[in-house]
Chain A
Amino acid sequence: MSFDTALRATEILLALAFIQQSAEHLWRTPEIRWLFGLRLVVSVVLLVGFAPTLSLLVLTGLSVVALHHFQGPYNGGSDRMSVLILWCLTLAHTLPNPRWQELAFSYLALQLTLSYFISGWVKLVNADWRTGTALSDVFAFSAYPVAENMRALAHSPRLLLTASWAVIAFEVAFPLALFTPLSLIAALAIAATFHLANACLFGLNRFFWIWLAAYPSLIWFQARVF
């Protein structure tokens, strides 16, 4: 995948994710409707590919206003990934030197890799995760299960132990997927399935769409470096 193709693919996926987020905000946070109305319109402009640099600069400004309004991220990690992709894309468009532009986009690929590896590492060093207890707690009393009947999964210790180790092993081993294009595509497919499961079980739909938007950077990075 060429640099320009990867940038454009990221723009399209980011625009789609922002349209989805903005529509939800327009419904649920009416006190700041102007912000997300404008964000939705500019995201559509970015989606069709008209004036991408200007669109990204406006979206970057709006992301700062949103952070100030909510005094931090509204939706935790998904908002953080949104900001990261947006800033890396904007820098890849505006930095004067092609090498710096590639560095900005590479930073997104690096952070995407770290998002899996660090998440796996902090679980690996935690005894509660290694025994399945942490995942049991997630289902038993955390705020995330989308329905009460899903809390019953807290009482399936073998399933949770297997799932815990599957998540830990996949996340920690994720950087190894960078060695070949095929292994990377397979790893990204598994990762997308993982986000889809989190969206279904825990309602984290925004994570699913925004993490997909970062994938082109890693596909480009793998071909560029390895």
Chain B
Amino acid sequence: MLQFLMLLLPGLIPSWQFFKTVEPSPRVQWRLLSDDGSGDWRDYQPRPQSLSVQAILRRLFWNPDWNDTLFMVSLSERLMDSPTPHSLREIQRRLEGEAAQDPSADRLQFQLVFVSRDGGELIQEITYLSAPWPHP
């Protein structure tokens, strides 16, 4: 019951503090692991270099991939703030979907890279490295 209220109350009594501060921003990177434990990191769902006006307008009505990418951001933040098996499994499941096109390796791994500003410089920090798990 308490868990139910904790999920529901932020909807019924919202804080509305949008962009109160701009926090370090997570990027999810993943790789297929070869037998010797190596593999190249790649970004999850990298954003395009540019979008046409038509594409931007179309996304007003149909934007499922982008919204799921934003959910990955939430999951990454949850994994750092208050890790649960749910957050970890949801991230893994989405990466397994990405990796399904490439069955060349039998294990997957991901890392979270948080980007922030330090003075005038943008810095990147790896804050989480998952254990390898079997490629389904």
Name A residues whose Cβ lies closer than 8 Å to a Cβ of B: 20, 23-25, 27-29, 31, 64, 67-68, 70-77, 79-84, 87, 111, 114-115, 118-119, 122-123, 126, 128-129, 134, 137-138, 140-143, 145-149, 196, 199-200, 203, 205-206, 208
Contacts and interface: CB of A to CB of B under 8 A. Distances in A.
B86 to A, nearest CB: 5
A134 B21 contact: yes
Contact of A118 (B16, B59, B93): B16
Nearest to A129: B19
Given A24-B63, A126-B21, 15 more contacts: A20-B61, A28-B68, A67-B11, A71-B86, A73-B10, A75-B70, A83-B8, A138-B19, A140-B122, A143-B26, A146-B56, A146-B59, A147-B51, A149-B50, A196-B60
Nearest to A88: B12
Contact of A148 (B20, B48, B71, B74): B48
B73 interface: yes
B41 interface: no
16 contacts: A24-B62, A25-B64, A27-B64, A29-B68, A67-B11, A68-B4, A71-B87, A73-B11, A75-B67, A87-B11, A115-B14, A119-B18, A134-B21, A141-B116, A145-B47, A203-B59
Contacts of A71: 7, 78, 84, 86-87
Interface residues of B, number: 50
A141 B11 contact: no
Given A71-B7, A147-B49, A200 B64 contact: no
A126 B20 CA distance: 8
Top 3 A-B residue pairs of the complex, sorted by shortest distance between their CB atoms: A83-B11, A24-B64, A137-B22
B15 interface: yes
Secondary structure dominating the interface of A? helix
A148 B80 CA distance: 26
Contacts of B14: 77, 80-81, 84, 111, 115
Given A87-B11, A126-B20, A146 B66 contact: yes
A206 B64 CA distance: 10
B42 interface: no
B63 A134 contact: no
Contacts of A75: 67, 70-71
Which of A25, A77, A205, A206 is packed against the most chain B CB atoms within 10 Å?
A205
Contacts of A24: 62-64, 67
